[in-house]
Structure 1
Amino acid sequence: MLKTTLAGGCAVAVLALVAAAPAQAQAVPGSEPSITVAADAPATAAPDGTTGGAGNDIIVTGSARAQRRFDVSYEINSLSQDDVKLLAPKSFADLLGDLPGIHVETTGGEVQNITRLRGIPTDRGMLIFQQDGLPLYHEVDGYFFNSGDGMNRYDLMTERVEVVQGGPAPIYASEAAGIVNNITVSGTDQSRGKAQLTFGDIGMYRGDVMQSGPLGHDTYYAIGGFLRYSDGYRDNGFPNDRGGQIRANIKHNFSNGFVKVTANYLNDHNVFYLPIPIANPQNPAQSLNPWLNYFTGTMNSPAFRDVTLSYQDANGVMRSENRDLANGRHMVYGNVGIQYQGDFDGWLVSFKGGATKGKDTFDALYSTTNPSNATTFANSYLAAATKAFGAVDHLGYVYSGTNTAYNPASQSGLVMPAQYRAADSSFYSVQGDLSITHKFDTGFGSHDVKVGAYTSFYGNTQNQLYQQYLIQVQGQPSTLDLVAYSANGTVLGKVTNNGALPNTNALGIGNVDAKMIAVYANDTWEITRGLRLDGGIRHEWYSYNGYEDYTKTVTNTALVGTLANTVSALTGAANQFRLSPQVTNWTVGLNYDFSRHFGAYGRASHVEVPPTAGTAFNVSPTPTYTKADEYEVGIKASFGRNYLYATGYYTKFNPLNGSYPDPTTQYTTNVPFIGKAVSKGVEIDANVEPVRWFSVSGAITFAQPEYNNLYNPNSPSQTIAVSGKQIVREPKLYGHVMPKFHFESGQNKFDVYGTLNFVGREYVDFLNTTELPAYQTVGAGFNYTRGTWQFQVVGDNITNNHGLTEGNTRSDAFGQGTAVAVYGRPLFGRNFRFVLTKSW
């Protein structure tokens, strides 16, 4: 296995090459690519007269108007379709993981993975996804769905992806320390199209298509989408991903602007991979790989294709739902939108509006506690079984719903619980943004001022049922019944009910409606050529109105002879929730370009995240605010294809709010904790092309994410001593390096490249007692292009390196009881994809 020192050595090598690049770059005639022009942005030449390079990409996200990447005073990446194709990500989160400052865990499946921006200690926190400048759903997370890669899918209708890390993100989006903006294809006078077929050795088949062109005078169209079927990276015993998306738009140009009407529809199933045990917790040297394969094993199983979950309604009537684990996360929504932009004698008026309505149906098998010795687990129920059934001699296991005995000793000797979660949500979100931008000269430089207002009306429902089951410790496990026997072997009763464990049913029903309005302003002051000062402020007003039904536990009298005879029930009463929070965000940045090739910038920002609308889904809600102060300084150098962007950042979270297990009750209940956290680091984004046929690119982050002490606001003397500890699941080093060789012969073009991805040591818990070891993966790719045809082969983790992510978040707050994690989401094993593309 490659060592972390190798990753660090690669980082140093990339920096050394960039430092040496300028003289070489100037000696290569025609070395710069064409400018990437933003959709709906003016196609202007770069002020320095150059014709390309990463510094000359035209960007629109986080900016008053379209401008070069090199000219902005913050870190932004722009990824074209060609960039994304070369990176060949397995998922949207995988794509973001190739950028500096964004640490990802892509082991959960194709969608709704974990992204963490600059050490922010929450999953997906403060990273806002947009489509053409607007979110599809206002908040980061709805109820069991995410408005990021949970709702957004990359396909050929995405012209490019712009990603802002820090910078003015708090002014141009709510709750934002970063923005991922998916800019869609627009039609032009020239018809163009593309079709793409992708085949994977995991049983994956995908087709993408896009077509755009003129409809009439100054009117254009674009339409495209994808269909995909996949058995999955892990063997569920049923298909993993199936579904697709279609997006379309019509655009009409005026003499002073344009109007664009958009629509998209998504209908997609995605199975969720949860953590698995990889070693015996009582004997970590005992690998569970013989029964649960590290690379392909999962607790998902056909045993959960027909699950019945029961509860009692407010009238005392028993209700039940039949669920299918293969349904996975089934996201269905439609969105319509409109964009308008007009220039009225130097006053740029822009309006964006969108409406989304959909439903998310979620079925997943969640990890809970560590596997247990089968004998120890059975004996823990002996007293309760004896009390219920009389003289119990012993307990034994059978396959649930049968009389067929199961002997755990014939395998690992372990059994474990797992929780089936069924959660449904209907949701809607309507949002609009109106802004006016005007540039004017003064006696001391010029000002480019943008003022605007944003509003959103949104909401979603909650409907959840949980049930814990007893299962084998093996891939595609069977559910088990724990049976009580007399001395002569007579069945006296069962601890479980068709695999379901006692007292584990959970029920939640609720609804929330929200509205918010924000006003914002930003001024970019060009003091002299190359010296720019910009600052902005955003104030937001929210209003939430919601409820969650109260529940209780009752006995299901229809279930006899089992300890698992209780269900959750509605009481008929509900907790009403109303809240009207306000927050203010601001930013100020200074940029100075020493020349057309070198520049530097600095920035300070403040981000406030109010209590979310989902706070209403709690019978005892605890509204919390999280605030972050961000400081960053950066340097930038751009010479055609050679560039270096390096940003140092310091972010302080104060207060940092969360709900953590209570140390005084052996961590069995959660209580609120408040504290501080600090994340600081350096992000490097670089590309070196000393000759036309060879380049090295890299995105590397060196970080130091640390907690300060946490305390319980209801009992300030109760603290968790985590000062100086590494933030959970945040490494101090991560990134990737990609060397590429390019050859041409007549009409034939060849690209051969490799990738090295690396992640440093992490911890699963606050006290840093259980480690997630550092890991590296190696990938390789090959592209062959002839005319309008292209063929690509890409392989990931081709050396089958081991790496463990996440841990087991249901029970890891204070470690797994082992020095190295024995429970988590392993990396996927070696896999290959084959892509055939035709353009016209």
Structure 2
Amino acid sequence: MQVHRPFLLSSITLAVLSLINQASAADATPNSSEVSSTLVAPENKPAEAQQVVVTGSALGRGLRKVDAPYSITTATEEQMREAAPLSTADLFKIVPGVYAETSGGQTGPNIEVAGFPGGGDANYVTIQLNGAPIFPAPTLSFMDNSSMFRLDDTIDHMEALVSGPNTVLSNGQPGATMNFILKTGEGGDEGLLRTTFGTGNARRYDAYYGGKISDGWFATIGGFYRTDNGVRDSQFPTNDGYQLTGTLTRLLDDGKVTLYARTLKDKNLFFTAIPVSASAAGVPTGAFPGFDPLTGSLYGNETRFFTIQTAPGQTQNIDMANGRGADVHTFGIDFNQKIHDWEVSNKLNYVSGDMQTNAFFTGSVPQTMSSYLNAALTKANGNSATVIAGGLATGGTATYTDGSGAVDPNQQVLNAGAWYVDKQIRSTTDELKFSKELMKDHTFTFGTFLADYSSQDLWYLGNSVLMTATSNPKPINVILNNGAVISNNGIDGPVSYAQHDSYNGQKTAFFIADQWKLNPQLTLDAGLRYETQRVNATLGNITSGNIDSNPLHLYNQGTSILTGTYQSVTQTDHATSLTLGGGYKLTPNVNLYARVNSGHLMPQFDDIRGDAGTSATAPVQDIKTYEVGIKAVNSEFSLYASVFHKDFTGIQQSQILTNGSTVWYNYGSQTNGALFEGAWRPFTNFQLAFSGDYEDGKYTGFQGIDSSTGTSNNGNQLQRQPKFQSRLTPSYRVPTSWGSIKMYGTYSYIGKRYSDIQNQQVLPSYNTLDAGILAVVGDKLEFRLTGTNLNNTLGLTEGDSRVLGAGSGVIMARPIFGRAFEASVTYRF
């Protein structure tokens, strides 16, 4: 932190001094036409052609979306609402080349970027607020950027780009960046109150107000409170929490500064794989008997509270209602000012809080109660200490923990781990850049990006709970007739993976960029970034032991126990990224572009931990992207399309298996593909929007680090990524004497994927249908009704990540949510 403090203080001082110096300079608001001229569509030109974006631009100002020589998707506040996203990550479905698995609920998504091999989490996705990353590392275990952010009415619009110049800007994200721009109140006084009701007794209350508070000063405040039991009824709130955001903006001479603050406290259940019927080849075929894959849940009143033993005399309480939620506070300063001939921009962001996970993580497929008892007998009789203490067991009893009696021997049962993770996080980031037009149409930019971030982690993983393989299940106790306790209060396996670790990361990056408009048609740009990252980790040592000395307590033997001693690991990495692109205008609103990127992804905290105690060093991923595209806009039609090639090396990945062991492997990949999005407007008030992507990605250079992985995966399709996906969204607005009615819908198709690197766990293609209707009454009232997954399709987004290979007859998989409806009433003032 000492390295960064002088710079951060100087950045704050720069903004504050500008405020003070100009507060008395002009009490009148600057000429409004001068401030907003770039956002107004010139007469007789399509409005979309004049849309301005700031994400990916190295300049101190924005540029027209159609002129940007890279792929970028935008969404207004209304477009985001019409997309009916289930979460922040789910909004990525409108971005070609990004596939977000949001079947886990509001948080904890797996987000895949076309051609970027992942296998879980969101390594290649950054969420920004006003151009500043929420957290400089895109993903840590049990935490991604999107889980720290919620959508509400304080957001003005969204900009998302895949690859592009962000390889050298901000935190250097080579994959996808989704930038949310806050409202500032500059557009005029605006207020709203909204009440929303929906499936699962969902209730949400939103409020927002923003506008001018005095000459040159603007402010906003808004947020929400919500609670619901979810599409998957868990007998207690699935989501429960609130968010509050405020901004204060001062217009300056040739600039402005915005201060923003946001607090989020939201608890969200996290859903993992459930049993699904499958063919003999392991291909999913439908529902597992007695468990609806669209609405079923392993959570319930009987499986809400657990106490796990973590060491002799030590326990950890788990409340599943806490879920995988966030208690996070954000503060930022967004400063832009023209000083003489220089455009100066500074984006400072500070985040701190708690990211906690209390959730079930499933393991092996269900079996009958009698089969489980037979395995328990074999386990107990194979333990010499147990046999000495109680003799050989010849039978046992299985009873429900709630006292409701014995379990039927034919009852299907399964194991799910009641895992606990607590992450105390903190992050400070600052991007300062200077731009100057050296000569007409030739602009040079340079700047720095600094980050200081940390995570204090406490993990208890690998334990298991025995329960019925039903929705809202019942935990089960098992005792053998020799006195051996197999399951105690439902817990039949100990913590097998404990951690008490501390991490601190520091990034220092310097970048330069140059844009040169050679003539009215041709524009070239280039950027270079040099980054240094240093990670210091203090890792808790563990040992394996029994919680108590009773050899008949088989449920707590072999527990992973923290010793209270620590080891330190330090790793420093350096990398250089570059981007080179250009655009050629065939007409003012038709632009051809090409771009070459050489980017990187630095090792994350979890990569460093995986190399502790070995001679290995977590590698820096090298990522090369080549893209050629076209952008064309007129009043009737718009098209944004590109083809790409992506080449990866130096990827390290781990997988925790059912038995608690971890396998590691290194690999690379190569992918060819295409992205497209656009809209057709054949007549007034009607639009047919479309988007999608095709990709052919294969693993290369695969190296298994242990005997369970091997090298036979070269040439396999990148896991979890469909070769083809698309969306078709028609909308029609009907003006009336009292307002208007707008009807809209979306048909989505997701192609066949594989859940695993080995391409043995098939995830079949599926399609969904969403629809909505919006009635606007005058300029005050709005009524909206939306439905998601109206065709109630069974779509699977994840197989069994705890096993290698495919199952047969029954598999564990994670389905999308079933049909749901939502209705809202909005009053604007």
Q: TM-score, normalised by structure 1?
A: 0.88
Long gaps (5+) in structure 2? 1-31
Q: Who is 1:419 aligned against?
A: 417
Query: Match for 2:399: what amino acid?
Result: V
What do the CA deviations read for 1:675-702 (whole angstroms, capped 9, x no partner)? 2212221111010010013221011112
What do the CA deviations read for 1:278-304 (whole angstroms, capped 9, x no partner)? 227889799654421121101123233
Deviation at 1:272, TM superposition (A): 0.5
Q: Who is 1:825 aligned against?
A: 814
CA distance in structure 2 between the partners assigned to 1:541 and 1:677 by the alignment: 25
User: Are 1:708 and 2:683 counterparts?
Assistant: no
Q: Who is 1:750 aligned against?
A: 741
CA distance in structure 1 between the partners assigned to 2:519 and 2:585 by the alignment: 10
Query: Match for 1:145: what amino acid?
Result: M
User: Are 1:569 and 2:561 counterparts?
Assistant: yes
User: Are 1:172 and 2:169 counterparts?
Assistant: yes
Q: Who is 1:20 aligned against?
A: none
Query: Match for 1:259: what amino acid?
Result: V
Q: Is the CA contact 2:719–2:755 (under 8 Å) kept in the aligned structure 1?
A: yes
Query: Match for 2:169: what amino acid?
Result: Y
Query: What SS class does the counterpart of residue 298 from structure 2 fall into?
Result: coil
Q: Who is 1:133 aligned against?
A: 131
Q: After TM superposition, list the pairs within 5 Å mapping 1:466-505 onto structure 2.
A: 466=461, 467-485=463-481, 492-505=483-496
Q: Is the CA contact 2:108–2:142 (under 8 Å) kept in the aligned structure 1?
A: no
- Label 1:214 to 1:469 Cα distance change in 2 as closer, same or farther (>3 A): same
Q: After TM superposition, list the pairs within 5 Å mapping 1:415-564 onto structure 2.
A: 415-441=413-439, 446-466=441-461, 467-485=463-481, 492-557=483-548, 561-564=552-555
Q: Who is 1:698 aligned against?
A: 690
- Label 1:441 to 1:266 Cα distance change in 2 as closer, same or farther (>3 A): same
Q: Who is 1:100 aligned against?
A: 96
Deviation at 1:512, TM superposition (A): 1.0
- Label 1:201 to 1:131 Cα distance change in 2 as closer, same or farther (>3 A): same
Q: Who is 1:82 aligned against?
A: 78
What is the aligned counterpart of 1:150 among 147, 150, 173? 147
Q: Is the CA contact 2:594–2:629 (under 8 Å) kept in the aligned structure 1?
A: yes
Q: Is the CA contact 1:764–1:815 (under 8 Å) kept in the aligned structure 2?
A: no
User: Are 1:62 and 2:33 counterparts?
Assistant: no
- Label 1:465 to 1:628 Cα distance change in 2 as closer, same or farther (>3 A): same
Deviation at 1:258, TM superposition (A): 1.4
Q: Is the CA contact 1:39–1:186 (under 8 Å) kept in the aligned structure 2?
A: no
Q: Who is 1:394 aligned against?
A: 395
CA distance in structure 1 between the partners assigned to 2:577 and 2:495 by the alignment: 42
Long gaps (5+) in structure 1? 1-37, 486-490
Q: Is the CA contact 2:787–2:819 (under 8 Å) kept in the aligned structure 1?
A: yes
Q: Is the CA contact 1:511–1:617 (under 8 Å) kept in the aligned structure 2?
A: no
- Label 1:798 to 1:384 Cα distance change in 2 as closer, same or farther (>3 A): closer
Deviation at 1:503, TM superposition (A): 4.5
Deviation at 1:214, TM superposition (A): 1.4
Query: Match for 2:489: what amino acid?
Result: N
Deviation at 1:241, TM superposition (A): 0.3
User: Are 1:738 and 2:729 counterparts?
Assistant: yes
Q: Which moved more, 1:637-646 or 1:283-292?
A: 283-292
Query: Match for 1:308: what amino acid?
Result: T
Instruction: Give the length in aligned residue pairs.
Output: 780
Q: Is the CA contact 1:80–1:160 (under 8 Å) kept in the aligned structure 2?
A: yes
CA distance in structure 2 between the partners assigned to 1:282 and 1:771 by the alignment: 12
Deviation at 1:216, TM superposition (A): 1.4
Q: Who is 1:34 aligned against?
A: none
Q: Is the CA contact 1:53–1:642 (under 8 Å) kept in the aligned structure 2?
A: no
Q: Which moved more, 1:74-83 or 1:794-803?
A: 794-803
What do the CA deviations read for 1:758-806 (whole angstroms, capped 9, x no partner)? 1011112223223111111112211111222211111112121221111
Deviation at 1:305, TM superposition (A): 2.4
CA distance in structure 1 between the partners assigned to 2:619 and 2:664 by the alignment: 9
Q: Is the CA contact 2:107–2:325 (under 8 Å) kept in the aligned structure 1?
A: no
What do the CA deviations read for 1:557-598 (whole angstroms, capped 9, x no partner)? 265632123233222321211111112111101110100232
What fraction of aligned residue pairs are identical, expressed as a percent?
24
Deviation at 1:331, TM superposition (A): 1.0
CA distance in structure 2 between the partners assigned to 1:39 and 1:308 by the alignment: 63
CA distance in structure 2 between the partners assigned to 1:581 and 1:430 by the alignment: 20
CA distance in structure 1 between the partners assigned to 2:255 and 2:508 by the alignment: 26
CA distance in structure 2 between the partners assigned to 1:214 and 1:438 by the alignment: 31
Q: Which moved more, 1:59-68 or 1:284-293?
A: 284-293
Q: Who is 1:249 aligned against?
A: 247
- Label 1:141 to 1:770 Cα distance change in 2 as closer, same or farther (>3 A): closer
User: Are 1:159 and 2:172 counterparts?
Assistant: no
CA distance in structure 1 between the partners assigned to 2:43 and 2:672 by the alignment: 36
- Label 1:608 to 1:189 Cα distance change in 2 as closer, same or farther (>3 A): closer
CA distance in structure 1 between the partners assigned to 2:519 and 2:365 by the alignment: 63
Q: After TM superposition, list the pairs within 5 Å mapping 1:273-672 onto structure 2.
A: 273-279=271-277, 289-312=288-311, 318-386=313-381, 387=384, 388=386, 389-400=390-401, 402=403, 404-409=405-410, 411=411, 414-441=412-439, 446-466=441-461, 467-485=463-481, 492-557=483-548, 561-566=552-557, 567-618=559-610, 619-620=612-613, 622-640=617-635, 642-659=637-654, 669-672=661-664
Query: What SS class does the counterpart of residue 380 from structure 2 fall into?
Result: helix
Deviation at 1:136, TM superposition (A): 2.1
Query: What SS class does the counterpart of residue 278 from structure 1 fall into?
Result: strand
- Label 1:605 to 1:49 Cα distance change in 2 as closer, same or farther (>3 A): farther
CA distance in structure 2 between the partners assigned to 1:200 and 1:45 by the alignment: 36
Q: Is the CA contact 1:652–1:677 (under 8 Å) kept in the aligned structure 2?
A: yes
Query: Match for 1:596: what amino acid?
Result: P
Query: Match for 1:184: what amino acid?
Result: L
- Label 1:408 to 1:701 Cα distance change in 2 as closer, same or farther (>3 A): farther
Query: Match for 2:398: what amino acid?
Result: Y
Deviation at 1:408, TM superposition (A): 4.0
Query: Match for 2:504: what amino acid?
Result: D
Query: What SS class does the counterpart of residue 467 from structure 2 fall into?
Result: strand
Deviation at 1:48, TM superposition (A): 7.7
Q: Is the CA contact 1:547–1:616 (under 8 Å) kept in the aligned structure 2?
A: no
What do the CA deviations read for 1:480-531 (whole angstroms, capped 9, x no partner)? 222212xxxxx63222222222444431101111211111111111111121
Q: Is the CA contact 2:765–2:795 (under 8 Å) kept in the aligned structure 1?
A: yes
- Label 1:659 to 1:76 Cα distance change in 2 as closer, same or farther (>3 A): same
- Label 1:669 to 1:505 Cα distance change in 2 as closer, same or farther (>3 A): closer
- Label 1:241 to 1:772 Cα distance change in 2 as closer, same or farther (>3 A): same
RMSD value, Cα:
2.6
Query: What SS class does the counterpart of residue 89 from structure 2 fall into?
Result: helix
CA distance in structure 2 between the partners assigned to 1:674 and 1:384 by the alignment: 35
CA distance in structure 1 between the partners assigned to 2:317 and 2:600 by the alignment: 41
Deviation at 1:667, TM superposition (A): 9.9
Query: Match for 2:703: what amino acid?
Result: Y
Query: Match for 1:634: what amino acid?
Result: G
Q: Is the CA contact 1:532–1:591 (under 8 Å) kept in the aligned structure 2?
A: yes
Query: Match for 1:697: what amino acid?
Result: A
What is the aligned counterpart of 1:211 among 209, 228, 232? 209
CA distance in structure 2 between the partners assigned to 1:741 and 1:219 by the alignment: 38
Query: Match for 1:210: what amino acid?
Result: Y
Q: Is the CA contact 1:126–1:175 (under 8 Å) kept in the aligned structure 2?
A: no
Q: Which moved more, 1:237-246 or 1:44-53?
A: 44-53
Query: Match for 1:390: what amino acid?
Result: G
- Label 1:726 to 1:564 Cα distance change in 2 as closer, same or farther (>3 A): same
Q: Is the CA contact 2:133–2:171 (under 8 Å) kept in the aligned structure 1?
A: no
Query: Match for 2:738: what amino acid?
Result: Q
Q: Is the CA contact 2:537–2:570 (under 8 Å) kept in the aligned structure 1?
A: yes
